[in-house]
Structure 1
Amino acid sequence: MRSAIPKDVKMSLKVMVNKEKTKVPFAEANSKSAEVILSFLMLPLGEIVRVFEEHYLDKKPVVGSLTPMYRHLTTLRSDYFWTDGGKNMLLNPSNSFMSGPVKHFRCGDMDCKKKSFRNVSIYYDSGTCDCGKPLNRAMGEIEPKPQAGGDGILVEGLHFLVTDDLQLAPYEPGSMMETLVYLGIVVTEGAEQLNVTLGYNEIVDLLKRSLLSKTPLTDVILCVINKNMGYVLEDILLDKIELESTSSKRMTVTALMQKSTNKLLFVKGREDFVDFILSFLTIPLGGVVSLLRGKTCFKGIDNLYKSTSNLIKDKHFITGDAKRRLQEPQLPPYYVSKNQIFSLSEQIVNSIYYYESITDSSDQTIGKGSWMRYKDPKGDQGCYVKPGMFKISDDLTFLKCFFSNSAILSKLKIPPSDVKEMEVQIGLKEGLSILKAALRSTTALADGLVKHITKASVASNSAQSDGLHNKTSNKRPKTKVSP
């Protein structure tokens, strides 16, 4: 199962550089190179953070609150989770593009007592057999259902233009200028065309810059061309965009706000909310753009996603399914938690019939077959986190909460009189707001929830005011009786 950028990946481009060597307005790419860029949409958020953590030894890039949450997750004890497999799925999330045979694993006990519908998993050591032993014994590989056209995304032999802000557009030979005009690209006098090959390091840099910059192509190409010039990259955060959504699924958390500063101190919630925010790590980048309706804070990624609809036509994709998997990617089997608020789908796996030949003590070969049932690596509960009350910080890190609010406030040296508690309902609108804030900010809860907390506070104060008014109006005036 492909879940990361291959180490041997190569991308060949013909780049156009302006005369001053300060801008790359566009580049030409073939189908394979264009596929590498499109593959960014298939990467789960947690996988992106993991790649950055492993690749950049110094000055590791921070992706909003996702990086703090991911780092915190690596330090958590296993008893926070129903299974070690569930924690591993969050730390090493896979994407849903299946390539090649899929390995299967069964109970590690050769004498497993479960005789009918034995358990099987497609994740090594990430599940537990009903007998209690780990599912870590390899049992062979199964070829996935072949995709029409193979494992690729785009038809081979096509030509694409890649703009500085990651618009990706096919063009026919002889129509390049027409396509450039359509994209609004102006080539200044004296521009020079150069052949550039990007390897793994540069492609990871391109991914990073696509999350941080309005000009990712220029940032990376000029670093390749001018390695000795010390080209400086400038981080850019884009403006906020409001979202409107409705939902029926909701969960309740308690937000503690400091009155004097109007600052969110922390949130207390149960395992369903913690399970929900952890699930951000499993969502592919293309799925995030889809959920946020093409309005994330990543302009280059938004442009790349829109290109799959507005610029790249159906005829350019190997299949319609390849296009759909970029625009509305499914999660791998068992990744969607029962506490998920977002409308996400996952691949379905069915029971399998496994047949094997066994040689007994008398060297006789005996054929043996049985039906096997896939096991949820998260556990039978269908979620990642065990029950409990949790204190969730602004950067989406969390710990089990064993103390009262007054004890926590005492430690923070904040008087209870300076704190107000608000119950906040978390539905789709609030969940999307937190997700979007988590992409760009290390204070995702404050940025994502304060507006909703303020509304809840106003509604609460209004209700209290109405109640007080009703009590006052219901009082009968005293009548003075004259003697």
Structure 2
Amino acid sequence: MADTNSIELKVLVDKGCNQVIFVEPDNDFVDVLFSLLTIPMGTIIRLARKHSDPVAIGCMNNLYASVENFDDQEFWMHTCEDMLLHPRNAADSQCNALKLKLDDAEPRRYFMSPDSCDLFAYSCSLHMCREKSLSFRASQDGSVFVKGQTRFTVTDDLQVIPPSSSANSVFTKLRVIDVDALEELTINIGTVEILNLLMYSLVSKTPLTETLLKPKQDLKSSSTILNQAIHIESQMSGDSMNDEEDKISLNLVVSKSKKMVCYAEAGEDFVNLLFSFLTLPLGFMVKNMKNGSLKGCIRHLYKTIQDLDGQYMISDHHKEMLIDPKLVPGFCYKNSLLGIEETSYYYSYYNYTFSTDRSLSPLEPDKVKLVSSDSVVLSAQGFLKRPAKFVVTDNLVVRPISRILELQVLKDLNVPVTDIEDQTVHVGKKEALHLLLSSFLCDSVLTNTFVADLREPKQEQ
């Protein structure tokens, strides 16, 4: 009997250089691979910490630790901390059906209000509430994102090649020349290997080789994402920026000699924005980066799905939730700055189904409002109590404001008080995206985002 907690892979290996050429997996593996793009960053940080060799993902780890270290009294509600440390996956109904599931969060339960047919809640204490399951479309053989019986080829750098590609073009692309140097292996993988694959996909061009053939390699020494030499502004996908949008004011303390941001004095609106990064799915991060931004090859996986013919996906909805992932309702505070939306939910009175996929109903379904059991509109209030002031370091350590802490930061940076000056900047959509990508890619987020702008007036003098 096959192990239900593992997936079997047929792996073609170049014996000479001990490198994976490609794997021929069942669709169970392709579904799991595609699902990585739906996982929120907070979940990835939490999973990475559980690994024997924790990986530092830019400054995201510092944001996560800052939330952990905050006093409960700083949060607007006691549930806000959990929303950031255990963010919900908007595609969790699909991911719960995967053969290997990374996220160990309990599945959400949904209830229909007895007084309003257009209102659903994550939980309900009323006796009359009717629990409803979230329906989703699967293929006949149980595949989650791709149609059953499709035989994909997955390369070492996570390009997923459909069966319509000719063998000659595939072999040429992969530089397969000496067939005598090739060896076929059968390898069983579980959640540990999937987590390894996720981590390596962020930092390596050969994540399958690193995962399947070099399992003892130290992730910390080889895979830390820090100080990647990029200019993020030139890598961002070009969304138009509105000069009249609401902007967040931020006071920066800058070292004049080192031309770096030592720290920022920020209100709760800016910290809410930073903390919201933990709720964003990995696919949203990758969507806003262009080739060359990352050391790893997760971008290849995203591009594969983006270019994949719709005939291989169960539906257009399944493809959209991978390349244009959304947030669970209630998690969308200030994310309008980042251009991400909440998932829409629909209820069909024709077949009594509750789903994020409106095409499941043969008739036009009704769009319903989904709320959490806590009667708080997070989009209006945010995660933190207001008003409040915080110190945010260049590498995104966030703490309640303290002059002693500010002096300690200057001491740690070896910056004398006589060398600092205050600068006021404003954060709109452009800056929010820059902050987001910088937090994922480097360890000097505030400097990376704001210092170039601060230098420009001085160059004109």
Q: Could you say whether these structures have the same fold, taking a TM-score greater than 0.5 normalized by the shorter chain as the test?
A: yes
CA RMSD across the alignment: 3.7
Correspondence 1:169 to 2:161: yes
Unaligned runs of 5+ in 2: 97-106, 350-367
Q: String of CA shifts for 1:246-282, please: whole Å, max 9, x gaps.
A: 4223222111111222232101121111111111111
Q: Does the 8 Å CA contact 2:63/2:274 hold for their aligned counterparts?
A: no
In 1, distance between residues paired with 2:305 and 2:145?
Answer: 11
Compare CA radii of gyration and give the structure with the larger one: 1
Q: Which of 234, 238, 253 pairs up with 2:222?
A: 234
Tell me: CA distance 1:94–1:230, structure 2 relative to 1, closer, same or farther (3 Å): closer
In 2, distance between residues paired with 1:232 and 1:70?
Answer: 18
Tell me: CA distance 1:136–1:209, structure 2 relative to 1, closer, same or farther (3 Å): farther
Give 1:298-447 correspondences, 5 Å limit: 298-310=295-307, 312-338=308-334, 340-348=336-344, 374-375=371-372, 377=374, 379-380=376-377, 381-387=380-386, 388-403=388-403, 415-447=416-448
In 1, distance between residues paired with 2:75 and 2:443?
Answer: 24
Match of 2:256 in 1: 259
In 2, distance between residues paired with 1:337 and 1:410?
Answer: 32
Q: Which moves more between the two structures, 160-169 or 442-451?
A: 442-451
* Letter aligned with residue 222 of structure 2: E
Q: Does the 8 Å CA contact 2:14/2:182 hold for their aligned counterparts?
A: yes
Q: Does the 8 Å CA contact 1:395/1:445 hold for their aligned counterparts?
A: yes
* Letter aligned with residue 146 of structure 2: L
* Letter aligned with residue 422 of structure 1: Q
Match of 1:479 in 2: none
- Percent identity, please: 25
Match of 2:109 in 1: 103
Q: Which of 46, 50, 58 pairs up with 1:64?
A: 58
* Letter aligned with residue 186 of structure 2: N
Deviation of 1:157 after TM superposition, in Å, equals 0.6
* Letter aligned with residue 103 of structure 1: R
Q: Does the 8 Å CA contact 2:138/2:145 hold for their aligned counterparts?
A: no
* Letter aligned with residue 40 of structure 2: P
Match of 1:130 in 2: none
Q: String of CA shifts for 1:321-348, please: whole Å, max 9, x gaps.
A: 1011100011111111036411111124
Deviation of 1:450 after TM superposition, in Å, equals 2.2
SS in 2 for 1:268: strand
In 2, distance between residues paired with 1:395 and 1:446?
Answer: 9
Deviation of 1:233 after TM superposition, in Å, equals 7.2
Tell me: CA distance 1:410–1:161, structure 2 relative to 1, closer, same or farther (3 Å): closer
In 1, distance between residues paired with 2:444 and 2:219?
Answer: 30
Correspondence 1:152 to 2:144: yes
SS in 2 for 1:345: coil
Q: String of CA shifts for 1:367-425, please: whole Å, max 9, x gaps.
A: xxxx9983475833342122212111122121222549997788778554311111112
Correspondence 1:83 to 2:77: yes
Match of 2:8 in 1: 12
Deviation of 1:314 after TM superposition, in Å, equals 0.6
Deviation of 1:442 after TM superposition, in Å, equals 2.6
Q: Does the 8 Å CA contact 1:243/1:429 hold for their aligned counterparts?
A: no
Q: Which moves more between the two structures, 20-29 or 158-167?
A: 20-29
Number of equivalent positions: 412
Give 1:71-220 correspondences, 5 Å limit: 71-99=65-93, 102-104=108-110, 121-122=121-122, 141-147=131-137, 149=139, 152-172=144-164, 175-181=166-172, 183-188=173-178, 189-220=180-211
In 2, distance between residues paired with 1:52 and 1:136?
Answer: 38
Match of 1:468 in 2: none
* Letter aligned with residue 268 of structure 1: E
Match of 1:469 in 2: none
Q: String of CA shifts for 1:231-258, please: whole Å, max 9, x gaps.
A: 9973376541423544223222111111
Match of 1:43 in 2: 39
Q: String of CA shifts for 1:287-338, please: whole Å, max 9, x gaps.
A: 111123566415411000000123x211000001101110001111111103
Match of 2:24 in 1: 28
Tell me: CA distance 1:191–1:213, structure 2 relative to 1, closer, same or farther (3 Å): same
Q: Structure 1-normalised TM-score?
A: 0.75
In 1, distance between residues paired with 2:41 and 2:264?
Answer: 23
Tell me: CA distance 1:406–1:316, structure 2 relative to 1, closer, same or farther (3 Å): closer
Q: Does the 8 Å CA contact 1:26/1:161 hold for their aligned counterparts?
A: yes
Deviation of 1:215 after TM superposition, in Å, equals 1.1
In 2, distance between residues paired with 1:136 and 1:60?
Answer: 43
Tell me: CA distance 1:296–1:336, structure 2 relative to 1, closer, same or farther (3 Å): farther
* Letter aligned with residue 220 of structure 1: T
In 1, distance between residues paired with 2:420 and 2:383?
Answer: 32
Unaligned runs of 5+ in 1: 1-6, 108-114, 125-134, 354-370, 466-483
In 2, distance between residues paired with 1:273 and 1:212?
Answer: 29
Deviation of 1:106 after TM superposition, in Å, equals 10
In 1, distance between residues paired with 2:269 and 2:451?
Answer: 20
Q: Does the 8 Å CA contact 1:64/1:442 hold for their aligned counterparts?
A: yes
